[in-house]
Amino acid sequence: MTGIYIHIPFCESKCVYCAFSSFVNREKENDYFSHLKKEIENTSKSIKDNVKKVDSIYFGGGTPSVVSSNKIKDILDCIKKNFVINEDCEITIEANPNSLDKQKLAEYKKMGINRLSIGIQSLYDEELNFLGRKHNRNMAIEAIKSGKNSGFENISVDLLIGIKGQTKNRFVCELNELISLGIKHFSCYMLQVEEGTKLYNIVKENEKEILDEDECVKIYEECVRTLEENGFVRYEISNFALKGYESRHNLKYWSGENYIGFGLSAHSYIDGTRFANSNNFEGYFAGEKSLCEKLSDSQRIEELIMLGLRCRLGVDNQKLKQLGYDLTQNEDFKNFVRDCVLIKEGEIIKLNPQYYGVSNFIITRLLP
């Protein structure tokens, strides 16, 4: 089934590390929501009926929780009118602790949103300050508690690894605290220094303003150990979930299923063709695409291997064979299976999670 992503490109402020398509200036907000609706209606008219069956909807950004919940409901209603929504559809909204309140949470719940993804990043005030976040530790904890009290049992949090001052012990304390608050899913990202961000200039001045790679790897390894000890499964390099709480939406990106992205800079993948919307408002309002590419069979093979081996789903060799490539005939394949680097379960081939850190090297050996 198809996944739908809706990009909400507005934020209250810009965090120092963020290169996402997000704007503090909200003067185009009303126009943007009108265009979103038009885009949803037009797209639904142009796609085949089987692509209209949807079992995951994801409001991402930017920060979807900064806009009024009526606007989110309007978009959700529009999707429900133009697509066929599965009864148990996963509906996620990304939120910031500072823009979540009880009323919004109740309205999200009422409109059918059943998963919250909260950008916590850290539970230490000095780290949050450095990152340019608008929330502090207490607000982060309050947001999670309010989410739970409002009836959301499926709550995910985002954390960052690599912030100056962070240590293994401090990070483990944060994880334990969040686990005890009932968090079911963690996305733990290595802090990336993206060109064009404030962090890029800060680090150019002094590279010690963030942790070096070795320190990050140590914290990441401790993160994996702590979460696994607490029953979490690492189902992708940065993503951990209790059983049954893996993000259905994220899994679509890694398994080669169809997904449709609406809004600024949103990407879609439909039956082997990749599209991307313009990343500026003028282009988006004019319907411009920044990418429209039909993948060849060999590109689809590469994509299935690259995405599949980086997550717990693995690669379906049956799908590869249909595209003309049998992975089990690859010269390195047998050695990797013998050395338990790869795990073969029938037609499904998985990378042993111990080797996620060197997945790039292994994947290059397995490509046609």
Tokens of 352: 């042993």
> For ligand SAM, which is the closer residue by CB, 121 or 268?
121
How many residues lie near ligand SAM (CB under 6 A)?
Answer: 16
Residues 11-40 within binding reach of ligand SF4 (CB under 6 A): 11, 14-15, 18, 20, 22
Of 142, 158, 257, 347, which lies in the binding site for ligand SAM, with binding defined by CB under 6 A? 158
Inter-axis angle of helices 213-229 and 168-180, nearest 10: 30
* Nearest Cα residue to 244 out of 185, 186, 181, 188: 185
Scanning 58-66, 139-147, 164-172, 334-342 for contacts with ligand SF4 by CB under 6 A, the matching segment is: 58-66
Provide the minimum distance between the beta carbon of 36 and ligand SAM in the complex, in angstroms, as a whole number: 17
Name the nearest CA neighbour of 100 among 59, 132, 60, 147: 147
Name 315's Cβ contacts closer than 8 Å, sequence gap at least 6.
304, 305, 308, 309, 327, 348, 349, 350
Strands (E), 181-271: 185-190, 233-236, 239-241, 259-262, 267-270
Residues 179-198 that bind ligand SAM (CB under 6 A): 189, 191-192, 194
- Residue of 104, 113, 106, 216 lying closest to 150 (CA atoms): 106
Please, what is the minimum distance in Å from the beta carbon of residue 65 to ligand SF4? 10
Residue 156 touching ligand SF4 (CB under 6 A): no
For residue 334, give the amino acid letter.
Answer: K
- Which one among 2, 65, 96, 268 touches ligand SF4, defined by CB under 6 A? 96
CB 119 within 8 A of CB 95: yes
Residue with tokens 């993804």: 117
Task: State the binding partner of 14 from ligand SAM, ligand SF4, none, CB within 5 to 8 A by kind.
Answer: ligand SF4
Question: Which residues lie across from 189 on neighbouring strands?
Answer: 160
Stretch that binds ligand SF4, among 9-17, 244-252, 337-345, 349-357 (CB under 6 A): 9-17
Least distance from C-beta 215 to ligand SAM, angstroms?
16
* Distance in Å, CB of 126 to ligand SAM, minimum: 18
In angstroms, the CA 184 to CA 305 distance is 28
The candidate with the shortest Cα–Cα distance to 62, out of 111, 97, 14, is: 14
At 132, list the tokens.
Answer: 């340019």
308 forms part of the interface with ligand SAM (CB under 6 A): no
Q: Considering only the stretches 57-65, 285-293, 299-307, 342-350, report the one whose residues sit in contact with ligand SF4 under the rule CB under 6 A.
A: 57-65
Instruction: Note the residues at the interface with ligand SAM (CB under 6 A).
Output: 17-18, 20, 60-61, 63, 94, 96, 119, 121, 158, 160, 189, 191-192, 194
Instruction: Note the residues at the interface with ligand SF4 (CB under 6 A).
Output: 11, 14-15, 18, 20, 22, 61-63, 96, 119
